[in-house]
Structure 1
Amino acid sequence: MLRSLFHQQLDEVANHIQELGSATLAQLDLAIASFANQDAASVAAIIDNDKNINKNELDLNERVFDIIARQQPVASDLRKLIVVMKIAGDLERVADLAVDLAKVSKRLVPYQGEARQELSLLATDARNMVAKALIAYKNQDVMAAQQLAKLDDEIDERFGLFIKHLFRQDVGEPDVEMITQLAFIARYVERIADYATNLSEWIIYEANGQHFDLN
């Protein structure tokens, strides 16, 4: 009876991860749209939503602490609970990056360069990495988690090329600030992809108890 309750609690916190993940993806979608469509009005909503994500992460951690205290799990069950907290923390940081991206996008509303479309595509691909990591976690799919490392390498390469091209442009003084802000956004996007890779590392750790650095 107690064991059945414990596994029910494990399933519940895993489901909460999916809910937190969905909220984080929604934040990324809003942030990318605010940049791609030059929509400064959505920034306030993104910042407000972040408060809920922060609270949900804290609530989830408290739930895990309570389960550990009451059930005293060992071995693989303890790993599952540790991974829940680690993934929740990484998702919260991704949501923070969505806020940062949106804030910088607000300053870029006047910018009309081609880099906006290229950066939007890069951001969408990083966002999709997070989505794939969440699916791999739900399905306990270690192979799918491992494949995210290759996608991260591709994002890193595109990020590097984007930055090189950005700073090689012959720009006037008024455009220097715009280029700097675009570089900030590119860095935020690259970090989002890194966190997606972190998620895959936790999936692998939950499965076999070994931590691999996929970044």
Structure 2
Amino acid sequence: MRALSASRTVLPLCERGPAGLTRYYRSLGDPIGRLDRYEPELNDWKPGEKRDTVKPAFMARNLQRLSLGDALVPEDRQRLNDWLRASITGAERIRAGVPRDWVVGDKTGGGVGAYAPGSDIAVAWPPSGAPVIIAIYTNRNDPTATMDNSVIAKAATLPARALGYSIRPPGAREQGDTIDSWRVPSTACGESRRALGQERAPRRAG
């Protein structure tokens, strides 16, 4: 189901639409996330807009609680993770930035209007160790610009390298290219958290 159809069909069933989703954010301990409008109106966005926004750090914690923690009953948590792993829209985003042997479940997002907003949130399972939660949100300063998947993919290499994995940036042309050979734009905001088994998500920031 496309995002436009889903928002119009499902949200009215979720405790009175956008306001209900905002209340659910609060129940997860997220003091920032909010939904004010339906699709396609929420795509009318510009930098500094407060409506229909989230903070990457809190969205990472939300995803941790939902995909690994106790926010959902086990059956629903498994169903959510199955949906995330089956997603096919993020091949050029977080999935392109982490090592190939990581199992990734993700949910992409992106506006169709000005400033080219784009995002991807994911839970990633390395071959060993605990899962990693990644949340990356980007936009461009130019209202006529187009969304660039490679910015998200390059940002996704950062947590992998921080955990000791040696990988080259997506799109690196020379064998010697490293993480230091490019910069992630300041408008790319991200948060990653190393999940500790099935522990509860950290409490919200003070």
TM-score range, shorter chain: under 0.3
Between structures 1 and 2, the one with greater strand share: 2
Between structures 1 and 2, the one with greater helix share: 1
- Please tell me whether Structure 1 or Structure 2 has the larger radius of gyration of its CA atoms: 1
TM-score (norm 1): 0.27
Higher relative contact order, chain-length normalized (CA < 8 Å, sep 6+)? 1
